Chains A and B, each alone.
Chain A
Amino acid sequence: MPVEKLTRRQALKMAGALVGAGIASQFVGQAPAASSPPVAAAAATSGKPIKIGFEVHRTGIGAAYGKWYERTTAAAVRLINETGGIAGRPVEIIAEDDGTDPKRGVEVIEKLAQHHKVDFIFGTLFSNVIVANAPRAGELKIPYFVVSEGYHVPSGRLNRYVFQPGITDVRAQVTAVAPWVVKNLGKKITMIFPDYAFGYDHRDFFGTAAKRLGAAVRAMIPIPPTETSFTKYFSNIPRDTDVIYHVMVGPGVLTFVKEMGEYFGTRKPKLFGFIDSLEAVDIASPGLEFLEGTYLWEAFPRYAGSTLTAAEREYRRRVGVDANGASTSDPKDVSAYSHMFGCWETLFVIKAAVEQSGYASPKDYRALIETLERMTVFPEGLQHPQGPKRFVGRLHQVFGRQFISQVQARKLKVVYTAKIEDSLYPPEADYTKHPL
């Protein structure tokens, strides 16, 4: 059997070229994307469907979030279509995977806008993808509703077509919780955060807020989002630290918490983290014993407490989430509970904006955008199960309640609720002055 010969030198060069070009890391982003079949319209609706393009992180490091964003979206659309659709028209979701990859994200925006000719685009979570997508959505002049958390929307860096009406931004979150952290946990703080835009929002806004409250940030430790081993970073934590403030994302978060536990043992400082570190992760996972007694920010408490409203009970039932925040069909399948409600609420904001502005087709974008910018309040209810919201039109950003929970008996229990007013900050942007 003749076999082509390959010398060591050739193979090494080839392998070297592969490593050099970072080819392996690009494979992920180009995984083939599938489109979902349209959601069936119910009898109560008629006419041409309103098409909403759904950019979803089905693959890549955001996939755990993407899965739940997709389930929540499907449940919300079912409810909307059961109750007369949007302005009497059925809603059709066209989902497209972006591989949690900014390059692919821009292509998805173009495909949804130009090929599928959707009315609106919504759903993106990861801030690096949004920052890449937003200018393209602006150029294509198509309303783009993001369900992220980064400060990019209210900062004014994006454009008039980008809205975040379903979930609070990081600056508002940290503004709301910083006073509690400094008062109850301590004044010498070390921050550990992911080394990209989302982490920098935490660094900048919590850092400033803490200083204003008389606390000192003793060290800042940025960690690359693809890191898999963390012990080596902990030697940079000053010994006199009272509180470690941690926020991590991606598949490595469990390791992060476990290794922190191994490193400190019983001599641990107080811990305050963001649930982002443990979204879609079971708090009772092996290795997380260390978190017992520590505190986490939540946007929407994962474990149903005694104060569960009727609206939230119905929301959980429709999405398929049990009282522990896991899938009703698989208790090991834990949801991204503090983020995915944003998809649900965003869809109902779109519904309200379409109905109030009389939107019928893309020529009505101006009316839709101006209507949205005039909105101020979203009352609590099945459409907004997380709680009442205040919408600031000039910022294109919504503000809601924030929660601090303590890990008790391997579950999360809410110990503090911050009011909407606590999360407000002086606005920097005014999108209403941007061109359309």
Chain B
Amino acid sequence: MSLGVRLFLALLEGTVTGLVLGLAALGLSLVFGVMRIVNIAHGAFFMLGAVIAWYVTSTTHSFVLALVGAPVAVAGVALAVDRFVLRPVRYATEATIVATIGVLYILEQLVLSVYGPYARAVPAPIYFRIDFPWFGYSGYKIVVAAAAMLLLAATWWLVARTTLGLYMRATQQNREMAEAFGVPVDRLYACVFALGGLLTAIAGALVVPIQQAHYLMGLDMLLLSFMVVIIGGLGSLGGTLVGALLVGLVDGVVSVFFTPTLARIVASVVVALVLVVRSQGLFGGEAS
């Protein structure tokens, strides 16, 4: 296979992976940006979205229903975590990290006991194969990438153009001042945490036809999400997208031409460099 074709495949894979990763990492970035907490349970929300999507699809035979039901259910779980775990520890930084590690364990082991250790797939709702002259590619992957782009745009619109977004940006800049101006911070926190869960659960549900639902699928995603937000800057939506595309493309290109292990090493080195040279990430500003 010629160099050009291999490069094309690498870029295609990289872009698709990057966009899905962007959607998955968006919730993590959003939650940190507004609430200043690092949510380790983020990976578990992703996994939960996938597993619930499998349950809904296999009982109702409707993937559309799964695409609605799974994110709503995960948003509910996120609301409960916010109310009963994060709020009691008053969103304190270290405490929330430890607490969300606990949530990650609980959700993972719960899924292992109820759903089991299996990797289970559902049929893709829209299936077609794109037949390039040199190789074929899953049409559904392209659909997922497009959906991720739409959702990223919608989130940007929500943050930049709505009252909720205004509240979010105000709280991000200065929590006390926002509270003084009447922003219902407690409710806003709950909303943002649920939104974070919702977005990552959509990503989880979307990948079930590609990757299957498995109780450990969240860990790899969590690690990649951290890489993405560190490169892009925690709390920056544009940065998240750029970081995700960068990680995706590095993974695609280096994996195709060298080895996948080297791809991870390169991505980790990029993370380290960003932390050394520009610790707030490429697009993150210094907090006030």
Contacts and interface: CB of A to CB of B under 8 A. Distances in A.
The answer to whether A binds B is yes
A19 B271 contact: yes
A231 interface: yes
Contact of A254 (B38, B116, B119): B119
B99 interface: no
Given A63-B112, A251-B212, A286 B222 contact: no
B49 to A, nearest CB: 15
Interface stretch (A133-141, A221-229, A317-325, A407-415): A221-229
B116 A224 contact: no
Interface string B267-288: 0100110010001110011110
Interface string B1-44: 10001100110010001000000000000001000111010010
B101 A27 contact: yes
Interface stretch (A9-17, A162-170, A372-380): A9-17
Given A228-B220, A229-B13, A232-B252, A64 B117 contact: yes
B169 interface: no
Given A61-B216, A235-B1, A24 B223 contact: yes
Contacts of B101: 27
B46 interface: no
Contact of B235 (A8, A13, A234): A8
Contact of B212 (A3, A19, A255): A255
A25 B217 CA distance: 11
Contacts of A9: 279-280, 286-287
Contacts of B137: 231, 262-263
A38 to B, nearest CB: 21
B93 A19 contact: no
Interface in A361-408: none
Given A11-B32, A259-B138, A265-B131, 11 more contacts: A3-B92, A6-B93, A8-B235, A9-B279, A12-B275, A15-B38, A19-B227, A27-B104, A31-B109, A235-B1, A254-B212
14 contacts: A4-B90, A4-B92, A14-B97, A18-B40, A19-B223, A20-B272, A28-B108, A31-B109, A67-B117, A195-B261, A228-B217, A228-B220, A231-B13, A286-B122
Interface of B: 1, 5-6, 9-10, 13, 17, 32, 36-38, 40, 43, 90-93, 97, 101, 104-105, 108-109, 112, 116-124, 129, 131, 135-138, 175, 209-212, 214-217, 219-220, 222-223, 226-227, 229-230, 233-235, 252, 255-256, 259-261, 268, 271-272, 275, 279-281, 284-287
